Amino acid sequence: MSEMTCTDLVAIIRECAGDSDTADLDGDILDVSFEELGYDSLAMLETAGQTQRRYGITLDDDVVVEAKTPREFLDLVNGKLVAAA
């Protein structure tokens, strides 16, 4: 599976948790925290679950605590993808 991009992540977030009420997800949101974007832990659990299924990886339970921004989330996921390759 190829690298996960921010566009891929945004598509999953929209599907799992709906669009942001506060920001344009198609804009530059890499370093905007999920909290600021309006996504709570439940939304992130759902997003993490879908990411795991789609990319065939296993993320730690703490991913929703550790990954505070899209950049951090993508780093974690892509780290796993590299490790799995």
Partner 1 sequence: MNKPIVTGIGVLAPTGLGTEQYWAATRNGAKGIGPVSRFETEQYPVVLAGEIDGFEAREHLASRLLPQTDHMTRLALVAADWALADAGAKAEELPEFSAGVVTASASGGFEFGHRELEALWSKGSEHVSAYQSFAWFYAVNTGQISIRHGLRGAGGVVVTEQAGGLDAFAMARRRLRDGAGLMLTGGVDSALCPWGWVAQIACGRLSTSADPERAYLPFDSAANGFVPGEGGAILVVEDPESAAARGVARDYGTFAGYSATFDPPPDSGRPSALRRAIENALDDAGCQPSDVDVVFADGAGVPELDLAEAEAISAVFGANGVPVTAPKTATGRLYSGGAALDLATALLALRDGLIPPTPNVSELAPGIDIDLVTGQPRRADLRTAVVLARGYGGYNSAVVLRAPDKP
Partner 2 sequence: MDTGRRVVVTGIGVVAPGGTGREAFWDLISSGRTATRRISFFDPSPFRSQVAAECEFDPVRQGLTPRQARRMDRAAQFAVVCAREALTDSGLSTTDLDPRRTGVSIGSAVGCTTGLEAEYSVVSDSGRKWQVDNDYAVPQLFDYFVPSSISSEVAWDVGAEGPVALISTGCTSGLDAVGHGRDVITDGLADVVIAGATDAPISPITVACFDAIKATTPRNDEAETASRPFDRSRNGFVLAEASAVFVLEELGHARRRGARIYAEISGFATRCNAFHMTGLRPDGKEMAEAIRVALDQGRINPTEVDYVNAHGSGTKQNDRHETAAVKLSLGEHAYRTPMSSIKSMIGHSLGAIGSVEIAACLLAMREDLLPPTANLHEPDPECDLDYIPRVAREKKADVVLTVGSGFGGFQSAMVLDRRTA
The residues of the shown chain that bind partner 2, judged by CB under 8 A, are: 40-42, 45-46, 49, 61
For partner 1 (CB under 8 A), the number of binding residues is: 16
Per-residue DSSP letters for 21-82? SSS-TTSS-TTS-HHHHT--HHHHHHHHHHHHHHHT----TTHHHH--SHHHHHHHHHHHHH
Q: Where in 29-68 is the site for partner 1 (CB under 8 A)?
A: 38, 42-43, 45-46, 49, 52-53
As measured in angstroms, the least distance from the Cβ of 3 to partner 1 is: 22
Positions that interact with partner 1 (CB under 8 A): 14-21, 38, 42-43, 45-46, 49, 52-53
